[in-house]
Structure 1
Amino acid sequence: MAWTVLSPSEISARLRGALRRYLPGTDALVWPNNLTAIVKTVAAGLHDMHLRAAWLYEQIFATTASVQHLERHGAELGIYRRPMARAEGVVTLNGYADTIYPAGIAFIAGNRLYHSISDARSDLAGLLTLTILSDDYGVATNIAAGETVERADPTQFPNLELEATVASGGIGGGADTETDASLRARILDRKRRPPQGGAYSDYEQFARAVPGVIQAWAFPFADAPGTVGVWFLFEGRENGIPEAGDIALVQDALEARRLIRAGLSVSAPIPSPLTITIANLAVDTVQTRAAIAASIAAMLVRRARPGVASAPFTLSRSWISEAISLAVGEDRHFLIDPSGDITYVGGEMPVLGTISYV
């Protein structure tokens, strides 16, 4: 049970009762006498002690600990807040053929600055491939594959193109500082599922320790008997679906910690848009429709995961209807599509698609 904090009045009443028992012939309720003042003074001090004890009681548990002591809970288990991280990836552009370009070539995307991190030689057609690293930290430094970045100093290497294209792996790995809620969830998960020498929960915890990873799942027999497959979501990506650069980052982190005997594959979930058709919406307004979309999206974040052959995922139709009913402004509806539960395999994972109203 929770610690109960008594009010000064409640403490005073108990102290007055104690005085009656231990000092026969006295009564702290009769005014004027010094016992009333003594009782009130002692009650005020004891109330402060009750408040302190209630605060200490909360710090004992990771579920209720304040930020400072939450981090201490984590440190005792070897779990620390994920720091901010910089984004890294590959870009291509054209220059002189068979020419070495030094590290430090600057690029800009929006108001973010990036620099190439090593020397590189263009091929015989003049195509130059550079690995660039963001100067800033955070999820905002990630750039999707196919986007362009501009040269920050066009006067440097005038033979180089002014724009570079982000390669298929994207520029990824940039992450914000881990939130309190995420840190608390990882600490509680570690307490509930302690290390077991290579259990699937261990792989999930290894992945979630990588900056930017917001959720991870591990399943057996991903490629063959004896192999482990890990699927994960990454912050700042559309629907959380990681790109190749994010996958490489998590793959390297897991390779450094996994058991030698287990084969490992790290993959991005395959997004499968969920098409929904709703009829007879009683309060059909823009606000209600927006609330329904937000409620369904939140439900998918809580419940959805990739489905694989060894562990298919079934999305219950009732979950969708429940999410619609929970939306602010919704009073009554009829869910037409989907008409039943949906099962996902092959790494597919449901994401919110089109919602139609009839």
Structure 2
Amino acid sequence: MSLESYKEILERMRAKYIEESGNKPEDVSDIGIRLRVMAGEVYRLQARMDWLWKQAFPETADGAQLDLHGAQRGLVRGGREKAEGVLEFSRYVPISFDLMIPKGTVCASSGEEAVEYETTEEAVLAAGSVTVSVPARAVTAGSAGNAAAGYINTLVSEVTGINYVTNTKAFSGGTDPEGDEDYRARILAGIGRLEGFGSAGYYEGIALEQAGVRSAQAGISADSSGVTVYVWGDGAAVPEEAIGELQERLDSSRPLGVAVTVQQAATKKVVVGAQLQMREGADFAAASAALPNVIKAWLNQRSVGESVYMAKIQRLIMDTDPGVARVGFISSCKDHEGALGVVPIAGIVSLKEVV
């Protein structure tokens, strides 16, 4: 559907008026003003129709309209998740009594764009001890909450008797909302798999309704007598209890004479060795602290049977950090072609600055 510009519409209307009347309308005349107003309304109508046309199909829809296409397939856009980890609260010297650290104690990272973290349970620094570890999570969901070891070092909430705080291990698991392109790919993949009774899509649809299952892939034997449904959770294996429940559901929903088995998906670690060329004035140290967590979080959200291409990781890096001018990969970094029953997960992620 080709969208005309306002100028093209106006010129077409003026030409038709001259052809029919034999008179050329002046811009300040009543007819000239009417033509301009009408051309504007026609342009608005065409723009609206063009928008509706795009939103009618999952290949071109975006935002909330793409969510509706996904809902028709039982696919929900991946949401924002909070990064989680462990904070260590410490004193310089031990004390003779127990010291309580309340739930909800807030700490933060250093720097201009500080991210806050809060403890998720109450803890006690025992008498005679100098350090206590407390589970915590980012206050705000999103990949910005992923933090390298030692990145969190500021006490926001005053805790009497505590001298300093840090995280000896990275905070991870923070994710941004699934982008339109990744979500669209999942929707189109679902559309491409028919859901007729006994088809691969049929079994996958049942599996995705099971709590704890984020992705599923069904493999059907050559003679159609056996089906294996491979499942994977949200960045982790599906709990055994959920697998048992799904097995019961599939046993009661399978065609007569077909044996259905539910299995955990196998994993394949994807190794990323990226070489970054930074823009002038950009901070590689900050990029190398944040980007590995972003890459790992993205890799750990892949689906069973999905391919992973270095080009997508390249785009992820450049979209995340505008200070990166160019991204290359070491020769050992290879694309991962999707395989039945295999889910790609994060392996070693290393970044190196190049000039």
1:12-23 map, 5 Å: 12-23=10-21
> Quick check: 1:247 aligned with 2:243?
yes
8 A contact 2:62–2:180 mirrored in 1: no
**Aligned-residue CA RMSD (Å):** 4.9
Aligned position for 2:257: 261
Instruction: Read off the aligned partner of 1:231 and give its amino acid letter.
Output: Y
Q: Secondary structure at the match of 1:213?
A: coil
- TM-score norm. by structure 2 comes to 0.51
Residue by residue, what CA displacement relative to the aligned partner does 1:244-293 show, whole Å, maximum 9, x if unpaired?
123234334433432232111112124454566x5987777452464356
Instruction: Read off the aligned partner of 1:47 and give its amino acid letter.
Output: Y
> How many positions carry a matched residue from both structures?
246
From the superposition, tell whether residues 293 and 324 of structure 1 become closer, same or farther in structure 2 (CA, over 3 Å).
Answer: farther
From the superposition, tell whether residues 191 and 72 of structure 1 become closer, same or farther in structure 2 (CA, over 3 Å).
Answer: same
Tell me which structure has the larger Cα radius of gyration.
Answer: 1
Q: Secondary structure at the match of 1:43?
A: helix
1:1-40 map, 5 Å: 2-7=1-6, 9-24=7-22, 26-28=23-25, 30-40=26-36
Q: Distance in 2 between matches of 1:343 and 1:186?
A: 16
Q: Distance in 2 between matches of 1:36 and 1:255?
A: 73
Residue by residue, what CA displacement relative to the aligned partner does 1:265-324 show, whole Å, maximum 9, x if unpaired?
112124454566x59877774524643564466467558639xxxxxxxx89xx459846
From the superposition, tell whether residues 188 and 256 of structure 1 become closer, same or farther in structure 2 (CA, over 3 Å).
Answer: farther
8 A contact 1:214–1:233 mirrored in 2: yes
Instruction: Read off the aligned partner of 2:229 and give its amino acid letter.
Output: V
From the superposition, tell whether residues 354 and 58 of structure 1 become closer, same or farther in structure 2 (CA, over 3 Å).
Answer: closer
Aligned position for 1:226: 225
Residue by residue, what CA displacement relative to the aligned partner does 1:17-65 show, whole Å, maximum 9, x if unpaired?
11110001x111x354221112122223222321332233124323344
From the superposition, tell whether residues 186 and 350 of structure 1 become closer, same or farther in structure 2 (CA, over 3 Å).
Answer: closer
Aligned position for 2:217: 217
Q: Distance in 1 between matches of 2:216 and 2:205?
A: 8
1:310-321 map, 5 Å: 319=309
From the superposition, tell whether residues 65 and 347 of structure 1 become closer, same or farther in structure 2 (CA, over 3 Å).
Answer: closer
Q: Distance in 2 between matches of 1:325 and 1:181?
A: 12
Aligned position for 1:145: none
Structure 1 residue 15: Cα displacement:
1.0
- TM-score norm. by structure 1 comes to 0.51
Percent identical residues: 21
8 A contact 1:325–1:332 mirrored in 2: no
2:46 to 50, 73, 83: 50
Residue by residue, what CA displacement relative to the aligned partner does 1:180-203 show, whole Å, maximum 9, x if unpaired?
989866654454333343122332
From the superposition, tell whether residues 343 and 279 of structure 1 become closer, same or farther in structure 2 (CA, over 3 Å).
Answer: closer
1:76-87 map, 5 Å: 79=73
Q: Distance in 2 between matches of 1:253 and 1:293?
A: 37
Structure 2: which 5+ residue stretches go unaligned?
78-119, 122-177, 279-283, 319-323
Instruction: Read off the aligned partner of 1:193 and give its amino acid letter.
Output: R
Q: Secondary structure at the match of 1:203?
A: helix
Q: Secondary structure at the match of 1:4?
A: coil
Instruction: Read off the aligned partner of 1:34 and give its amino acid letter.
Output: D
1:113-128 map, 5 Å: none
Aligned position for 1:310: none
Q: Distance in 1 between matches of 2:55 and 2:276?
A: 46
Residue by residue, what CA displacement relative to the aligned partner does 1:169-216 show, whole Å, maximum 9, x if unpaired?
xxxxxxxxx999898666544543333431223322332344553321
Q: Secondary structure at the match of 1:240?
A: coil
Q: Secondary structure at the match of 2:14?
A: helix
Structure 1 residue 240: Cα displacement:
3.2
